[in-house]
């Protein structure tokens, strides 16, 4: 995409334009396909705008319109940091954990720490390169305190336990071709975050923590 404006006026103008496009698409077709992914870019812009009121409005709208959306890593990063800046530390931690499991290299690449505790598969290089595609405007807007928070969460018992469980399930998937077993394991993999929501949002220790 084109460079992102750093002015409040430019950010608000782009957010308004993108939201109008999404609204127009729903009004015209009865739903939103958004093949361009501008619903995600709005989170980038809101992070840069740093307006809690505007962010809350869009977060509520997004959750209603895209309740089963897989999303993408840069959106998850910006949403986690938006929650953190708003003081909603529970949702910030949950969203950061979601980012960590969705892209194994993202947090280490962003913060400069070694990645650990996750199985290194054939998609590793692609995941690492995606982490390198964060727009410079977003990178420069992330404070050192926010990077420190991400590092602390990544190295916490809870996040380490999540990575271990995720890696263990992936290893089991690699070892079996039995359909019912694979179906169960895939369900466990995709249900891991919600299963441990309480531990993630309260920083309690997972049973499998090292």
23 φ, ψ (degrees, to nearest 5): -65, -40
What pTM does this model have? 0.90
29 φ, ψ (degrees, to nearest 5): -110, -5
Query: What's the confidence (pLDDT) of residue 205?
Result: 56
Contact 86, 75 (CB under 8 A): no
Query: What's the confidence (pLDDT) of residue 104?
Result: 85
Q: Which of 132, 206, 123 is nearest to 170 (CA)?
A: 123
Q: State how far the Cα of 140 lies from the Cα of 179, in Å rounded to an integer.
A: 46
Query: What's the confidence (pLDDT) of residue 122?
Result: 40
Per-residue pLDDT reduced to its tens digit, 126-160? 566 677 789 999 999 999 999 999 999 999 999 99
Q: What is the dihedral of CA 135, 197, 119, 107, to 10 degrees?
A: 20
Q: How many residues does the chain have?
A: 210
Residue-averaged pLDDT of the chain: 90
Q: State how far the Cα of 140 lies from the Cα of 136, in Å rounded to an integer.
A: 6
Q: Which helix (H) or strand (E) holds 195?
A: helix 192-195
Model confidence at 119, in pLDDT bands (50, 70, 90)?
low
């Amino acid at each position: 995409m084109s460079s992102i404006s750093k002015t409040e006026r430019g950010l608000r103008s782009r957010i308004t334009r993108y939201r109008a496009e999404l609204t127009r698409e729903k009004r015209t077709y009865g739903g939103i396909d958004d093949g361009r992914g501008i619903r995600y870019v709005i989170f980038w812009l809101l992070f840069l705008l740093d307006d809690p009121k505007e962010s809350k409005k869009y977060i509520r709208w997004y959750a209603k319109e895209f309740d089963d959306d897989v999303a993408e890593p840069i959106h998850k990063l910006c949403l986690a940091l938006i929650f953190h800046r708003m003081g909603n530390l529970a949702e910030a931690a949950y969203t950061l954990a979601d980012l960590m499991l969705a892209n194994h290299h993202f947090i280490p690449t962003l913060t400069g720490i070694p990645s650990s505790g996750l199985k290194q598969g054939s998609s590793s290089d692609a995941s690492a390169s995606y982490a390198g595609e964060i727009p410079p405007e977003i990178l420069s807007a992330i404070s050192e305190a926010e990077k420190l928070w991400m590092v602390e969460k990544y190295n916490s018992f809870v996040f380490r336990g999540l990575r271990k469980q995720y890696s263990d399930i992936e290893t089991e998937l690699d070892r079996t071709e039995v359909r019912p077993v694979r179906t169960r394991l895939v369900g466990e993999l995709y249900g891991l975050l919600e299963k441990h929501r309480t531990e993630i949002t309260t920083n309690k220790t997972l049973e499998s923590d090292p």
